[in-house]
Each structure stands twice: as C-alpha cells, then as structure tokens.
C-alpha cells in the first residue's frame, strides 16, 4: 500500500466500525444468555469472527447478515463440548475471556491461536482461574495451546488483586465467577475498560463496582438483551490523530463509544492542543457521541499513570501524534505494550526512526522529541493491525511517498481502513 503526503487536508464525515471489545462480549454473553440477542453495529473484523467461530463450535447458532448478528443463546449451562480444538486466531480477547468461560464448563477443551497468540502470556489468567479451582494446562504453564479441564471441576469465588490493569484478566475472573460458588471480587490497580461489567449487568447479573473493586454474585442465568455496538474509539483514534496533525483537516466521526474507561485518547490529545469537539451525546449501556477534529498545532506531553489503561491500544498512534508535535513527549508506565500483538514499543520506535523521528525506547515506554521533518519510507507492520494503521497515518505527514508492507493485517479490527482513508482524501 503506497501512501503520499497530503497537502490539502483530510475532510469529511465518516463512520468507523463497531467496537471490538463490545462486539466480542455481545457474542459471548449473548451465547450464555437465555433468549435471542440481536447485535447491530457488530465489527466484522477477523478477531470478532474468531469469537463467533468458537461459539458455533460449542453448539451456539449464530446468524450473520449485513444488517445484524443474531445469537441464539443457550443459557449459562447450555454450551456443548466442541468436536475439535477452538481456534482464536489473532485475538487475545477471545482467548483470555474464553478461558474464564471454559473454566466453568463440564467438558474438557483445547484452544489455540495464530503465531502471535502462541507468544502472548496466558499465565495471567491461568493463575487466578487456578485459584478458583480450574485446571488449565499450557505450554510452559503460560502459552497456547491451552487445555481446560472443566469436567468434574467445582469453582469457588475468590478475591483477586490484579497485578496489572487488564480488562481481559478482570473479565476472565468475573466470567469464571458466573460459575463459582460464592462471590467473586476483583480489585484493579487502575480502572480498565468496563464493558464486561456493564453488559453482564444489562443481562441481569449482580455486578457491583465501587472505585477499583468489582464484586460479582453468580446469577441463576443471564437474560438476553439486544446490543447496539458503538463505533470503536480505538479505530476513531487513527482519524483523530490524522485530523489533528495534517494541516487544513476537518473530520467528523459519528456515534463513537465514549465510555470513560476508553477516552484517555481524548484527554491526551486535548492536553496536546488538539481541537476536538463532542456533540450528539447518547447515554445507553455504552455512551456515544460524534467527534469532530480540526487540525491544530500540537505540543508534547507526558502520558503515564492511571490514564494508560484508558488508552493502551491508542499509544502507537499517539506516538505518531507526538512525532508531529513540538517539544518532548514521554510515554511511561506502558510495559503492557510489549505483550500485545507485537512489542508495540519496539515496533513504533523502529518505524518512526525510519521516517527520521527522534524517538528513544525506554523500559516502560518511549521518549519522542517531536517536530523533526519526517520523510516517507517503507514501513513494517509486525503483523500488528495497530502498527499498520498508525504508520499509515504517519505516512500522510511524511514528505514524499511511503509504503505499508502487508497492509491486509488491518482486517483484524478495521477491514475498510484504507477505504475510509481514501474517502477523506488520503491514499
Ligand atoms: O484482543 P487483543 O488481541 O488483546 O486486542 C488488543 C488490540 O489492540 O486490539 C490488544 F492487543 O486490545 C485489547 C486491549 O489491549 C482488548 C481488550 C478487551 O477487549 O478486553 C483489553 C485490552 O487488553 P488488556 O490485556 O489490557 O486487558
């Protein structure tokens, strides 16, 4: 994919695909609920299709059309033992949340994913689930393939203090908690995305959140409720940064999910001087609004502490914003970036450097001295959708022409990314 520097600005009103985290959960919890769940705005990305595939293999009927996804729920105790391994593709969310659900089933099952998934740490979910009574074998006790021995297991609720702020660990423990005797309590070091808690509550479960503590009392069953998936703020982030750094731009993104556990990107871009306005608020299970960004001069900032889990997936594209900003940006407390689809710290430092940015890797993030004139280059994606899209946005501001190698990886979370970019006047 070749991308040229933009000289006339990016302009237009766009929609971006449905939220990946909410789409996964809508299928998973819809499958575990009694009744039918109609999901609109579902993300037809490869990760969410992996989730659908896994639940179909466990006997759940799921109809997919252009208009909606319909999940015919089997109830909390209705999943069937699959005839084959479950394959979770590139999706950490599918793999880790499924661990929680499968720990509570009365059958044994093996699960694995692609080369990237087989390198991502699973001990973080195996440890608390084992404390609840689950039996899980993995390669070196940490990696896929994982075999979950659910048969003849009894789970017991625990109080678990998360060692890292992670919605996937939190969700795995809470989902196992659905099947446990007694209450399950999770205490987070900082608030991570809370889509699991919101959706379980909407399906009738007793989930109480107070600050960083979440307490789940296991329900008899869950009751299906339709889900309208908001547009994904993590996908919107690419165009928020593009609109901010490319002169003469004005982009409106419709109906974006602005759950406060996900809006760190807005706080940081505004602190950098971005011109972003919010309109048409709607407060549903997941709050939404339209976001409009106009180009402006950005300045460096410090990104660290409690905001990190609120923008963890947006850090690669924020590094791009920092490279185009005046002054220094420090990204810290972001070690978690090393265990995503790629080591996103090393990847961004390497690719931004190719373009001529002054960027240095640190133990827990990076330091970017912004404002260098950047030049087009051939950018690697590390088979990581967010690196591919971040470097595509970077390319829009680089002098001359750039190339994104294996651009098709964007299909994990945003299959139409390059079409949207084209519509705005990029590519
Ligand atoms: O699903 P996966 O592969 O882990 O996806 C990523 C992403 O960039 O799309 C991370 F690589 O998002 C995670 C996110 O980083 C999705 C997620 C969720 O839906 O619960 C939570 C975050 O991960 P974690 O490890 O912090 O819980």
Per residue in 56-91, pLDDT tens? 999 999 999 999 999 999 999 999 999 999 999 999
Please name the residue whose Cα sits nearest to atom 8 of ligand 1.
313
CATH number at residue 300: 3.65.10.10
* CA 349 to ligand 1 centroid distance, Å: 21
Whether 176 and 264 map to the same domain: the answer is no
Whether 258 and 385 map to the same domain: the answer is yes
Given this model, what pLDDT does residue 412 score? 97
Given this model, what pLDDT does residue 97 score? 98
Closest ligand 1 atom number to CA of residue 24: 19
Whether 46 and 172 map to the same domain: the answer is yes
Q: Let me know: does 358 contact 372? Beta carbons within 8 Å.
A: yes
Domain containing 117: what range?
A: 20-218
Residue 53 lies in a domain: yes
Please name the residue whose Cα sits nearest to atom 10 of ligand 1.
340
Q: Let me know: does 308 contact 283? Beta carbons within 8 Å.
A: no
Give the separation between CA 98 and CA 108, rounded to whole angstroms: 13
Closest ligand 1 atom number to CA of residue 386: 8
* CA 245 to ligand 1 centroid distance, Å: 26
* CA 92 to ligand 1 centroid distance, Å: 6
Please name the residue whose Cα sits nearest to atom 2 of ligand 1.
92
Residue 426 has pLDDT above 90, yes or no: no
Return left, alpha or beta for 89; rule: phi > 0 is left, psi -120 to 50 is alpha, else beta. Answer: left
Please name the residue whose Cα sits nearest to atom 14 of ligand 1.
313
Please name the residue whose Cα sits nearest to atom 9 of ligand 1.
313
Longest dimension (CA), the chain: 65
* CA 144 to ligand 1 centroid distance, Å: 17
More confident residue, 251 or 284: 251
Closest ligand 1 atom number to CA of residue 313: 8
Q: Which residues contact 397 (CB under 8 A, 6 or more apart)?
A: 5, 6, 245, 246, 324, 374
Q: 47, 290, 313, 384: which one is catalytic? A: 313
Q: Let me know: does 160 contact 135? Beta carbons within 8 Å.
A: no
Please name the residue whose Cα sits nearest to atom 24 of ligand 1.
166
Whether 92 and 13 map to the same domain: the answer is no
* CA 312 to ligand 1 centroid distance, Å: 8
Nearest to 47 by CA among 410, 419, 417, 404: 410
Whether 69 and 137 map to the same domain: the answer is yes
Given this model, what pLDDT does residue 152 score? 72
Categorize the per-residue pLDDT at 261 as very low, low, confident or very high, splitting at 50, 70 and 90: very high
Q: Let me know: does 229 contact 202? Beta carbons within 8 Å.
A: no
Closest ligand 1 atom number to CA of residue 20: 19
Q: Let me know: does 416 contact 16? Beta carbons within 8 Å.
A: no
Given this model, what pLDDT does residue 151 score? 76
Lining residues, ligand 1, CB within 6 Å: 20-21, 47, 91-93, 166-168, 171, 192-193, 312-313, 336, 340-341, 386, 413
Strands 108-112, 143-149: pairing kind: antiparallel
10 Å Cβ neighbour count for 377?
Answer: 20
Q: How does 206-229 read in b/e, with b if 16+ C-beta sit within 10 Å?
A: ebebeebebbbebeebbebbebbb
Segment 243-264 shows an average pLDDT of 98
Give the separation between CA 248 and CA 233, rounded to whole angstroms: 23
Backbone φ and ψ of 226, nearest 5°: -65, 150
Given this model, what pLDDT does residue 339 score? 97
Domain boundary among 218, 250, 278: 218
Return left, alpha or beta for 346; rule: phi > 0 is left, psi -120 to 50 is alpha, else beta. Answer: alpha
Please name the residue whose Cα sits nearest to atom 7 of ligand 1.
313
Whether 173 and 257 map to the same domain: the answer is no
What does each C-alpha distance from 174 to 177, 189, 208, 295, 397 come to in angstroms? 5, 16, 11, 42, 43
**Which uninterrupted H or E stretch holds 333?**
none
Pocket test for ligand 1, best of 24, 93, 96, 166 (most atoms within 8 A of CB): 93
**Which uninterrupted H or E stretch holds 21?**
helix 20-32
Q: CA Rg, the chain, in Å?
A: 21
Give the separation between CA 107 and CA 112, rounded to whole angstroms: 17
C-alpha torsion angle, residues 153, 158, 161, 164 (rounded to 10):
30
Domain boundary among 218, 252, 275: 218
pLDDT cut 90: percent of the chain above it: 97
Whether 8 and 44 map to the same domain: the answer is no
Mean pLDDT across the chain? 97
Residue 10 has pLDDT above 90, yes or no: yes
Given this model, what pLDDT does residue 177 score? 98
Pocket test for ligand 1, best of 29, 47, 313 (most atoms within 8 A of CB): 313
Strands 250-257, 11-14: pairing kind: parallel
Closest ligand 1 atom number to CA of residue 164: 26
pLDDT cut 70: percent of the chain above it: 100
> Number of structural domains, the chain?
2
**Which uninterrupted H or E stretch holds 410?**
none
Whether 133 and 112 map to the same domain: the answer is yes
Given this model, what pLDDT does residue 153 score? 78
* CA 94 to ligand 1 centroid distance, Å: 10
**Matching residue, tokens 């040229």:** 4
* CA 262 to ligand 1 centroid distance, Å: 12
Q: Which residues contact 254 (CB under 8 A, 6 or more apart)?
A: 13, 14, 15, 231, 290
Give the separation between CA 426 and CA 419, rounded to whole angstroms: 9
**Matching residue, tokens 């590139």:** 90
Residue 155 lies in a domain: yes
Residue 223 lies in a domain: no
Whether 204 and 299 map to the same domain: the answer is no
Summarize pLDDT for 117-174 with one digit per residue, the tens: 999 999 999 999 999 999 999 999 999 999 999 877 799 999 999 999 999 999 999 9
Residue 313 a catalytic site member: yes
């Amino acid at each position: 994919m070749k991308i040229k520097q933009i000289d006339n600005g990016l302009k237009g009103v766009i929609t971006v695909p449905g939220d990946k985290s909410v789409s996964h959960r809508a299928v998973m919890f819809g499958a575990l609920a009694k009744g039918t769940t109609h999901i609109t705005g579902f993300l037809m990305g490869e990760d969410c299709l992996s989730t659908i595939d896994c639940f179909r293999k466990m006997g759940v009927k799921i109809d997919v059309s252009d208009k909606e996804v319909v999940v015919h729920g089997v109830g909390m105790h209705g999943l069937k033992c699959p005839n084959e391994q479950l394959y979770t593709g590139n999706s950490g969310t599918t793999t880790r949340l499924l661990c929680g659900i499968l720990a509570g089933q009365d059958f044994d099952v093996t699960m694995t994913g692609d080369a990237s998934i087989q390198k991502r740490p699973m001990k973080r979910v195996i440890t608390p689930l084992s404390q609840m009574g689950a039996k899980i074998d993995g390669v070196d006790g940490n990696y896929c393939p994982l075999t979950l021995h659910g048969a003849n297991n009894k789970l017991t609720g625990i109080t678990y203090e998360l060692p890292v702020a992670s919605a996937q660990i939190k969700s795995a423990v809470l989902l196992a908690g659905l099947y446990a005797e007694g209450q399950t309590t999770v205490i987070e070091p900082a608030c991570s995305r809370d889509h699991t808690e919101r959706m379980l509550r909407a399906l009738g479960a007793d989930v109480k959140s107070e600050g960083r503590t979440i307490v789940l009392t296991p329900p008899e069953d869950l009751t299906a409720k339709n889900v309208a998936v908001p547009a994904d703020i993590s996908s919107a982030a690419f165009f928020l940064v593009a609109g901010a750094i490319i002169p003469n731009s004005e982009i409106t993104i419709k109906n974006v999910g602005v759950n406060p556990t996900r809006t760190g990107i807005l706080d940081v871009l505004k602190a950098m001087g971005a011109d972003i306005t919010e309109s048409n608020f709607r407060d549903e299970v997941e709050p939404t609004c339209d976001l409009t960004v106009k180009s402006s001069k950005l300045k460096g900032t410090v990104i660290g502490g409690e905001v990190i889990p609120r923008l963890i997936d947006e850090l690669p594209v924020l590094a791009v914003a920092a490279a185009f900003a005046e002054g220094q940006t420090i990204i810290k407390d972001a070690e978690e970036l090393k265990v995503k689809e790629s080591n996103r710290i090393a990847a961004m430092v390497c690719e931004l450097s190719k373009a001529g940015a002054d960027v240095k890797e640190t133990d827990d993030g990076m330091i970017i001295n912004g404002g260098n004139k950047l030049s087009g280059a051939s950018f690697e994606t590390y088979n990581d959708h967010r690196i591919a899209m971040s470097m595509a946005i970077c390319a829009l501001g680089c002098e001359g022409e750039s190339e994104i190698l294996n651009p098709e990886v964007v299909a994990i979370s945003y299959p139409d990314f390059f079409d949207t970019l084209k519509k705005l006047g990029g590519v």
